[in-house]
């Protein structure tokens, strides 16, 4: 599903990173641990094609995304990669349900409101479907962000510090949801974090 | 879900910014279209009323007033002129046609104009119902007069002295007029007039107060009618006990005698308010104008005076137009600033759209669309405002001058303005859209 080879990245006047090779198969869960400044977010952005590596390559669902052009890359990312960020961002002007179907619309897929509602039901958020995202609690927002990341049934789910802003209870809930969604869709789940609470929950780990 | 829906959500999410942009733009657009409408409709109206009339021969005074009074019928006349004096000029071979106008009375503020059939014919105005006036105290009335006063064929009405004092304090004449015809709507000044033979306007004053001239000539000494013996024929009517019909017949007989040009024995002391003159050849103005020296008459050049009028009018219009354009520019600026500002707050969500599969071109289109929706909304509200303004202004103008300018249809200028609005709207949102396009998604989302 996801593998990298000799990934290198150097900021114009900042640090440079050489990353270990990553392999993550269908349905596999991988935890990437690292202290601040070890390039966790940089690695996640490289995996998502949001940054272009200066060396090496990233392959997702059999496609080498390192050489892909702008618009094609945006489309491919939308279809195959679901991303959960440290802080959940939304289209603030639109309701929770409309935010959920945004990846379907942006990848030119048929809009399936039933799928959005099914996810909201599963995440216990259906009663918030029409509300604006900023009316939700941080924990609820992170759950909506996970639902949005998985709505297109991506091959790879990337999560950047998904729990660092949450208390223990919410953190447990979010990790459980991520794992469950990855299992349900057969996606490979990659979590980058410095959150020590997650250390014992994943058998496959890489430390930067 | 589509781009328009997303744009619309974003616009509604910032109601105050949206309101400011739309209010500014709609005021700018509203005033611009209103000015264009007024200029067009009044200009057309003026031109229809001028309709090849070259000069106006009237009493000395202001030539502009002479045009306003005798061509547009919105001002009071400068006074009266002697038919005998006028004939020296209007019989000149350089004059192709001269249409007599004699007036001084009104019916419920609608002017009663003594003239001949040449006057409506000049405007191509035809009788829709009934017939053209022939005898004194017969009246053929304009379409607007008929509609507003409810006068019908066969209706009788009594005139009052003056031009706009239809109320009780005005002096009412006793001789009633009879409506014999109604003109078709012609969109020119005939619509607002009550036409009658010249003789009616002479007789109406003779039968009552022989010595009292028209409203705007110097008023005669305060003499009561019974102190001065009325003119001989009139005395006859009043002394003998005649029926109304017999009086009319006698007066008609006299009137025929005194219709200008019909009989040679015209009473040379008869007066006329003005003649509308159509010239035969170029250069007529200087020569004819010279002939008015040493008389109380003045020849006014319609084209020259009309230009003067439009220029004066135009300065006011241009000032208002300039202010409106300034407001519009400010509104485009406000749209530009609100898009740029919202971009700062929204760069996370725009970057987010990219991570969810949104392409740069889609995001570019979204920002452009938001600007466009704003300007189109502002344009629509502005167009409605301008029409509302026209209705208000038109009722004012109609009340004051009986001018109808309430054509609310979409004009070519409106469509041109829409095109300009859309173009400037695109220009104003172009820079924000380009900025949105250049957002570095990795940097933006890493910092959030």
Beta-carbon count within 10 A of A29 CB: 21
Q: How confident is the model at residue B423 (pLDDT cuts 50, 70, 90)?
A: very high
Helix axes B302-355, B15-50, angle to 10 degrees: 160
Residues B381-407, mean pLDDT to the nearest whole number:
81
- SS3 letters for chain B? CCHHHHHHHHHHHCHHHHHHHHHHHHHHHHHHHHHHHHHHHHHHHHHHHHCCCCEEEEECCCHHHHHHHHCCCCCCCCCCEEHHHHHHHHCCCCEEEEEEEEEEEEECCEEEEEECCHHHHHCCCCEEEECCCCCCCEEEECHHHHHHHCCCCCCEEEEEECCCCCCCCCCEEEEEEEEEEEECCCCCHHHHEEEEEHHHHHHHHHCCCCCCCCCCCCCCCCCCHHHCCCCHHHHHHHHCCCCHHHHHHHHHHHHHHHCCCCCCCCCCCCEECEEEEEECCCCHHHHHHHHCCCCCEEEEEHHHHHHHHHHHHHHHHHHHHHHHHHHHHHHHHHHHHHHHHHHHHHHHHHHHHHHCCCCHHHHHHHHHHHHHHHHHHHHHHHHHHHHHHHHHHHHHHHHHHCCCCCCCCCCHHHHHHHHHHHHHHHHHHHHHHHHHHCCCHHHHHHCC
Of A117 and B312, more confident: A117
A139-198, pLDDT tens digit by residue?
Answer: 899 999 999 999 999 999 999 988 888 888 888 888 998 998 888 888 999 999 988 888
Give B360 to chain A, closest Cα distance, Å.
Answer: 7
Question: With 70 as the cut, is the pLDDT of residue B307 above it?
Answer: yes
Check whether B168 has a pLDDT greater than 80.
no
B165 versus A69: the higher-pLDDT residue is A69
Q: Are B248 and B254 a contacting pair, CB within 8 Å?
A: no
Find the range with the poorest average confidence among A44-53, B53-62, B138-147, B199-208: B199-208
Share of chain B above pLDDT 90, in %: 31
Report the pLDDT value the prediction gives residue B344, as an integer from 0 to 100: 85
B324 pLDDT exceeds 60?
A: yes
Higher pLDDT, B310 or A114: A114
CB-CB contact of B26 with B322 (8 Å) = no
Cβ of B445 within 8 Å of Cβ of A50? The answer is yes
pLDDT band at B9 (very low <50, low <70, confident <90, very high): very high
**Residue B377, min C-alpha distance to chain A (Å):** 19
In angstroms, what separates the C-alpha of A141 from chain B's closest C-alpha? 14
Q: Which residues of B touch A74 (CB under 8 A)?
A: 354, 357-360
pLDDT confidence bin for B262, thresholds 50/70/90 = very low
> Span B242-258, mean pLDDT?
54
Which residue carries 């272009």 as its tokens? A52
Nearest to B166 by CA among B106, B214, B102, B216: B106
> Which pLDDT score, from 0 to 100, does residue B238 have?
43
Contacts of residue A107 in chain B, CB cutoff 8 Å?
Answer: 356-357
Range in A78-82, B40-44, B160-164, B242-246 with the lowest mean pLDDT: B242-246
Give tens-digit pLDDT for B55-106. 999 999 899 999 989 998 888 888 889 888 888 888 888 899 999 999 888 8
CA distance B301 to A65: 83
CA distance A26 to B34: 68
More confident residue, B43 or A122: A122
Residue in B105, B71, B122, B23 with CA at minimum distance from that of residue B384: B23
Query: What is this structure's pTM?
Result: 0.73
Tell me the pLDDT band of B395, cut-offs 50, 70 and 90: confident
B442/A45 CB distance under 8 A: yes
The greatest distance separating any two alpha carbons of chain B, rounded to the nearest whole angstrom, comes to 112
Q: What is the pLDDT of residues A4-37, one digit of tens each?
A: 988 899 988 888 899 999 988 888 899 999 888 8
Are A102 and B1 within 8 A, CB to CB?
yes
- B352 contacts A89? CB cut-off 8 A: yes
- Supply the mean pLDDT for chain B: 81
**pLDDT at res. B223:** 40
Report chain B residues whose CB lies below 8 A from the CB of A51: 442
Residues B415-435, mean pLDDT to the nearest whole number: 91
Predicted ipTM of the assembly? 0.90
**Over residues A78-98, mean pLDDT:** 91
Q: Which pLDDT score is estimated for B146?
A: 92
CA distance A88 to chain B (A): 9
Is the predicted pLDDT of residue B224 greater than 70, yes or no? no
Cα-based distances in Å from B19 to A178, B12, B335: 42, 10, 10
At residue A130, the pLDDT reads 94
- β-bridge mates for residue A59, sequence order: A3, A64
**Which chain A residues have a beta carbon less than 8 Å from that of B355?**
48, 50, 77-78, 83
Q: Lowest-pLDDT range, B194-198, B310-314, B420-424? A: B310-314
Let me know: does B394 contact B406? Beta carbons within 8 Å: yes
Is A91 within 8 Å of B441 when comparing Cβ atoms? no
Torsion of CA B303, B309, B313, B318, to 10 degrees: 40
Please report residues of A whose CB lies closer than 8 A to that of B352: 89-91
Task: Indicate whether B258 pLDDT > 60.
Answer: no
- In 3D space, the residue among B23, B364, B350, B441 whose CA is nearest the CA of residue A93 turns out to be B350
Answer with the residue of higher pLDDT: B212 or B244.
B244
Q: B1-10, B314-323, B374-383: lowest mean pLDDT where?
A: B314-323
**Nearest to residue B151, comparing CAs of B100, B195, B203?**
B195
Record: contact A71-B361, CB cut-off 8 A: yes
Confidence (pLDDT) at B288: 86
For residue A185, what pLDDT is reported? 84
Long-range contacts of B255-258 (CB under 8 A, 24+ apart): B255/B135, B255/B136, B255/B197, B255/B199, B255/B200, B255/B202, B255/B203, B256/B199, B258/B199, B258/B202
Between these two residues, B265 and B198, which has the higher pLDDT value? B198
State yes or no: pLDDT of A127 exceeds 50: yes
Phi, psi for A58 (deg, rounded to 5): -120, 130
pLDDT, position B252 = 56
| Mutation to test the A interface, candidates B3, B339, B356, most A Cβ within 10 Å | B356
Which of A74, A92, A111 lies closest to B357 in CB terms? Answer: A74
Mutate to test the interface with B, among A14, A44, A106 (most CBs of B within 10 A): A106
Contact B9 A90 (CB under 8 A): no
H, E, C per residue of chain A:
CEEEEEEEEECCCCCEEECCCCEECCCCEEEEECCCCCCHHHHHHHHCCCCCCCEEEEEECCEEHHHCCHHHHHHHHHHHEEEECCCCCCCCCCCHHHHHHHHHHHCCCCCCHHHHHHHHHHCCCHHHCCCCHHHCCHHHHHHHHHHHHHCCCCCEEEEECCCCCCCHHHHHHHHHHHHHHHHHHCCEEEEEECCHHHHHHCCCEEEC
The most confident of the ranges A33-42, B113-122, B267-276, B398-407 is: B113-122
Instruction: Indicate if the pLDDT at residue A128 is higher than 90.
Output: yes
pLDDT given for residue A66 in this prediction: 83
pLDDT score of B244:
54
Which residue among B9, B349, B442 sits closest to A89, beta carbon to beta carbon? B349
Q: Report the distance separating Cα A44 and Cα A85, nearest Å.
A: 10
> What's the distance, CA A121 to chain centroid?
21
Residue B309 has pLDDT above 90, yes or no: no
Q: Which range has the worst mean pLDDT, B50-59, B197-206, B436-445?
A: B197-206
CB contact under 8 A, A92 and B441: no
Q: Do B356 and A103 make contact, defined as CB atoms within 8 angstroms?
A: yes
Q: Residue B342's pLDDT band (boundaries 50, 70, 90)?
A: confident
List CB contacts of A110: < 8 A, sequence separation 6 or more: A104
Question: Which residues from B are below 8 Å from A when comparing CB atoms?
Answer: 1-2, 6, 9-10, 12-13, 346, 348-349, 351-362, 441-442, 445-446, 448
Cβ(B373)–Cβ(B11) below 8 Å:
yes
Q: How far is B326 from chain A (nearest CA, A)?
A: 32
Instruction: Indicate yes or no: CB of A107 within 8 angstroms of CB of B362.
Output: no
């Amino acid at each position: 599903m996801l593998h990298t080879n000799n990934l290198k990245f150097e900021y114009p006047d900042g640090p440079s990173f050489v990353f270990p090779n990553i392999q993550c198969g269908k349905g596999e869960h991988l935890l990437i641990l690292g202290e601040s400044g070890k390039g966790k977010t940089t690695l996640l952005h490289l995996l998502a094609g949001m940054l272009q590596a200066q060396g090496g390559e990233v392959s997702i669902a059999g496609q080498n995304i390192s050489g892909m052009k702008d618009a094609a890359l945006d489309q491919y990312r939308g279809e195959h990669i679901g991303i959960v960020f440290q802080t959940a961002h939304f289209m603030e002007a639109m309701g929770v349900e409309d935010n959920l179907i945004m990846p379907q619309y942006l990848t030119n897929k048929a809009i399936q409101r039933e799928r959005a509602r099914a996810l909201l039901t599963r995440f216990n958020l259906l009663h918030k479907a029409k509300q604006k995202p900023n009316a939700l609690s941080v924990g609820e927002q992170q759950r909506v962000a996970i639902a949005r990341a998985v709505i297109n049934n991506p091959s790879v789910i990337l999560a950047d510090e998904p729990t660092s802003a949450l208390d223990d209870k919410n953190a447990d809930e979010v990790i459980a949801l991520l794992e469950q969604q990855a299992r349900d869709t057969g996606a490979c789940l990659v979590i980058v974090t410095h959150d020590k609470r997650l250390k014992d929950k994943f058998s496959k780990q890489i430390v930067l | 879900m589509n781009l328009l829906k997303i744009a619309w959500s974003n616009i509604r999410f910032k109601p105050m910014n949206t309101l400011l942009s739309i209010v500014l733009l709609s005021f700018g657009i509203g005033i611009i279209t209103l000015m264009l409408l007024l200029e067009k409709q009044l200009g057309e109206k003026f031109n229809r009323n001028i309709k090849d009339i070259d000069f106006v021969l009237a009493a000395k005074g202001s030539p502009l007033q002479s045009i306003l009074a005798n061509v547009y019928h919105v001002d009071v006349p400068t006074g009266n002129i002697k038919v005998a004096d006028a004939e020296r000029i209007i019989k000149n071979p350089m004059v192709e046609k001269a249409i007599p106008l004699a007036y001084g009375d009104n019916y419920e503020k609608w002017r009663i104009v003594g003239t001949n059939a040449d006057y409506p014919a000049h405007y191509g105005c035809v009788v829709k119902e009934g017939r053209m006036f022939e005898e004194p105290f017969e009246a053929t009335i304009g379409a607007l007069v008929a509609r507003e006063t409810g006068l019908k064929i066969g209706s009788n009405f009594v005139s009052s002295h003056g031009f706009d004092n239809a109320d009780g304090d005005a002096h009412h004449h006793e001789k009633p007029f009879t409506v014999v015809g109604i003109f078709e709507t012609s969109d020119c000044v005939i619509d607002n007039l009550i036409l009658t033979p010249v003789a009616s306007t002479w007789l109406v004053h003779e039968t009552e107060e022989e010595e009292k001239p028209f409203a705007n000539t110097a008023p005669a000494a305060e003499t009561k009618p019974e102190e001065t013996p009325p003119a001989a024929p009139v005395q006859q009517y009043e002394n003998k006990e005649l029926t109304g019909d017999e009086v009319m017949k006698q007066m008609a007989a006299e009137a025929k005698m005194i219709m200008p040009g019909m009989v040679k024995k015209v009473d040379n002391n008869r007066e006329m308010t003005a003649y509308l003159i159509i010239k035969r050849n170029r250069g007529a103005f200087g020569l004819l104008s010279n002939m008015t020296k040493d008389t109380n008459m003045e020849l006014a050049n319609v084209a020259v005076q009309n230009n003067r009028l439009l220029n004066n009018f135009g300065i006011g219009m241009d000032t208002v137009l300039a202010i409106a354009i300034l407001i519009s520019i400010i509104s485009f600026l406000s749209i530009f600033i609100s898009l740029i500002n919202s971009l700062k707050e929204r760069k996370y969500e725009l970057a987010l759209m990219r991570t969810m599969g949104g392409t740069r071109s889609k995001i570019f289109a979204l920002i452009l669309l938001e600007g466009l929706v704003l300007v189109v909304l502002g344009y629509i509200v502005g167009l409605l405002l301008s029409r509302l303004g026209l209705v208000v202004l038109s009722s004012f103008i109609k009340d004051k001058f009986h001018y109808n300018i309430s054509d609310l249809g979409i004009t070519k200028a409106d469509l041109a303005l829409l095109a300009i609005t859309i173009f400037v709207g695109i220009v104003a949102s172009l820079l924000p859209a380009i900025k949105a396009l250049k957002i570095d998604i990795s940097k933006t989302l890493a910092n959030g």
